[in-house]
Chain A
Amino acid sequence: MKATISQDTVRADFVQKVAEISGENFFNCYQCGNCSAGCPSVEEMDLLPSQVVRYLQLGLVEEVKTCKSMWVCAACLMCHARCPKGVDISKIMDALRVLRLREDEHNSRIDVTDFDDDYLERAPQIAMISGYRKFLSL
């Protein structure tokens, strides 16, 4: 992939906002890959968790904003638990997701009318409530 890195991209508003609301300093990450190795969702991701952090370090905003990874993170915190530098990637993923959901209601990832009666009969409330919180526009 060819990318242009500049002071402007590294300091992009979106990157600053992710840092601000996640409370995480991306530059603590030295790309050891422990997070990606332990992530249960990695098979469904297009960017590994460590790559998401690397792209943020480089200010590659578009790649990060359009990645699928934030939507398949289950927030299980394994990445954070195993990070030798204490970076909480689940917070970064949540920040990305929240910013996308706040931008536009069309970013909502589930449609509550899609669930059939059989599924609603079986699924526990906590699945639906946490799903609404994670995937519907805020």
Chain B
Amino acid sequence: MNYTYFPGCTLYTKAKKLDDAGRECSRRLGFELDELPDWTCCGATFPLVNDYHIAMSGPTRILADTKEQGSDKLVALCSVCYNVLKRTNHVMRTDEERRAKITDFIERDYHGETEVLHYLQVLRDELGFDQLAEKISKPLEGLKVACYYGCLLLRPVKEIGLDSMENPTIFEDFVRALGAEPVDFPFKIECCSAFQTVHSMDLATRCSRDILNSARNCGADLVITTCPLCQFNLDDRQPEIKKADPSFEQIPVVYFTQLLALALELPVAELGFERNLIDPLPMLQAKGIGVE
């Protein structure tokens, strides 16, 4: 099975490890991600006001290009891209007036035909978590994983519809398929402060601290995420949190595709853990994971 794939800006650079592992794992699991040619940035924020149509021209062009490729599904790995593309698609399907304005502007005929999928959805709904579990060569036994959803993967639930808003399970089911143990923690759907990190560092530090403490207090060995912005906030803020509170226990924050890659025994040296501020390898290797 082939899917059209939208990597997005950050996956080519700062979050390359999310992308590399995702592409390689898909090959091993039996599906191909065909990168959309000539893609552009999705804009990284969905415009919440009704008169800011220009911000939807980029994502609409991406969705229309996918359709013109002859593909009916577009897969994203990054939560931000997924949210922007899916919400834009919802507008194109349901709001005739805005659709007309945007399609006139970009000179395309598009009515929301493309289906936007997150990579996790492909694993759950197209491959199946049972099938995934069968393909795992190195079950991650004994590893306690905090599945951090954040905001954009789930909300707004009427437009995204990936899972329950308050009690999602897709991430936990994924972790179980890898043979690891998901840890339930109260802050899993709280926001990490998102783009506020470029405006209010105090807010980013406090939100990240609350999430990480919640995960650690519930027994997690590491946190997984699908979002480069969450990964950055949660990982990058830890030295600051530690400075303010020496009793704070640091915890690695990795992408879900990196964890999948470990369970499929991809070479650890190719997983880009050197970019993590809090190195997950000592903890993983102590559990017999990622040892070559």
Contacts and interface: CB of A to CB of B under 8 A. Distances in A.
B190 A40 contact: yes
Interface stretch (A7-15, A19-27, A47-55, A56-64): A19-27
A43 B206 CA distance: 10
Contact of A122 (B49, B150, B157, B236): B236
A114 to B, nearest CB: 10
Given A81-B155, A124-B10, A126-B44, A115 B49 contact: no
B207 interface: yes
Nearest to B227: A126
A74 interface: yes
Interface stretch (B193-201, B214-222, B242-250, B263-271): B193-201
Contacts of A81: 155-157, 165-166
Contact of B151 (A77, A124, A130): A77
Contacts of B44: 125-126, 129-130, 133
A113 B289 CA distance: 43
Contacts of B101: none
B203 interface: yes
Interface in A66-94: 71-72, 74-78, 80-81, 88, 90-91, 94
A129 B198 CA distance: 10
Contact of A74 (B80, B156, B194): B194
Contacts of B51: 20-21
Given A81-B165, A124-B228, A74 B52 contact: no
A32 interface: no
A60 to B, nearest CB: 21
Interface string A96-138: 0010000000000110000100000011111111110111001
Interface string B206-232: 110010000000000000000011011
Given A41-B203, A74-B191, A125-B44, A94 B49 contact: yes
Nearest to B157: A81
B81 to A, nearest CB: 8
Contacts of B228: 124, 126
Interface residues on A, range: 35 or more
Contacts of B14: 122-125
A46 interface: no
A125 B156 CA distance: 23
B202 interface: yes
B13 interface: yes
A88 to B, nearest CB: 8
Interface string B166-206: 10000000000000000000000111011111111011001
Interface of B: 8-10, 13-15, 41, 43-45, 47-52, 55, 78, 80, 150-151, 155-157, 165-166, 189-191, 193-200, 202-203, 206-207, 210, 228-229, 231-232, 236
23 contacts: A20-B51, A40-B207, A40-B210, A41-B196, A43-B203, A44-B202, A74-B196, A75-B194, A76-B151, A78-B155, A80-B155, A81-B156, A91-B48, A109-B199, A122-B14, A124-B228, A127-B198, A129-B45, A130-B44, A130-B194, A131-B197, A133-B55, A134-B195
Minimum-distance CB pairs A-B, first 5:
A76-B191, A131-B198, A94-B48, A76-B151, A130-B195
